[in-house]
Amino acid sequence: MSHHPDVKAFYDKRSFSVQYVVSDPATRLCAIIDPVLDFDEKSGATSTENADRILAFLEAEGLTPVCILDTHPHADHFSAASYLRAKTGAPIGIGEKVCEVQKLWNGFYNLTDAPEDGRQWDRLFADGDEFFIGEIPVRVMLSPGHTLASVTYVAGDAAFIHDTLFMPDSGTARADFPGGSARALWASIQRILALPEETRLFTGHDYQPGGRELRYESTVAEQRATNSHISQCLTEDDFVALREARDATLPMPKLILHALQVNTNAGRLPEPEENGRRYLKIPLDLLHAPWG
């Protein structure tokens, strides 16, 4: 792997999300991956603070974005993809299976006129698609399990894996959202761990267990040897049993019902109504709630 992109991480403490700017040092071209549009569920306030931090970094470093990418439709934060597209002119992209997620969630929200063909993005990636960030080759790997539409972006010797593997002490991502599958997640993880062992893996969240310092980068070799879920699961059935048992105890993310109606629309907020105000829809009694 001779292509070694520079990677700058931006951490959002509110959602424990890690956003990335991935750049080619030779050409100063870059991609933005999984940017966050700020939302406070208690007040309903929105902000572009996280995205503006990224824009300030690009300006300071003399970087030009060639694309803005989401790894999947997020359940714990709003995407800033469309905001950044408007600010930079760079096209936005996501995995092509987002159309299936749109169909699923448009039904949940009763959005009968909402598009379900992914037209909100400039590019929908299929498994195996390739493109470049400057001189850095990027390959797209379909990585379902956490969601139907999850993808991994392998940029040179760096892979952006978001909600598949977390840092080794945190194991793997949940697979109990609508359209999720622990068996599909296992298969996606095996594909990622089949990459060269020196591949740098960048996760999309870090919950800092035990109050440890922030970590978001590992390697294939480190994950194979020490991931707290993978290292103790010898078979697919072992993993599925572990993952499903753990998922049954987890509350839903606090923003899942807020975020999916925005993120299946490429991070665009609902259009203002006749009074000039925007509104979100919250379907009641849709998801399981562990009350304990």
Q: What is the pLDDT of residues 257-280, one digit of tens each?
A: 999 999 999 999 999 999 999 999
Whether the predicted pLDDT of 207 surpasses 80: yes
Domain ranges for the chain, please list them.
Answer: 6-263
Quote the CA–CA distance of 196 and 178 in Å, as a whole number. 32
Q: What's 6-263's CATH class?
A: alpha beta
pTM, two decimals, is 0.96
Quote the CA–CA distance of 244 and 174 in Å, as a whole number. 8
pLDDT given at position 2:
61
Cα dihedral 124, 129, 132, 133 in deg (nearest 10): 50
Q: What is the mean pLDDT of the chain?
A: 96
Tokens of 203: 């996760």
Whether the predicted pLDDT of 36 surpasses 80: yes
Confidence of residue 288 (pLDDT cuts 50, 70, 90): confident
Q: What is the pLDDT of residues 1-34, one digit of tens each?
A: 469 999 999 999 999 999 999 999 999 999 999 9
Confidence of residue 292 (pLDDT cuts 50, 70, 90): very low
Q: What is the pLDDT of residues 71-101, one digit of tens each?
A: 999 999 999 999 999 999 999 999 999 999 9
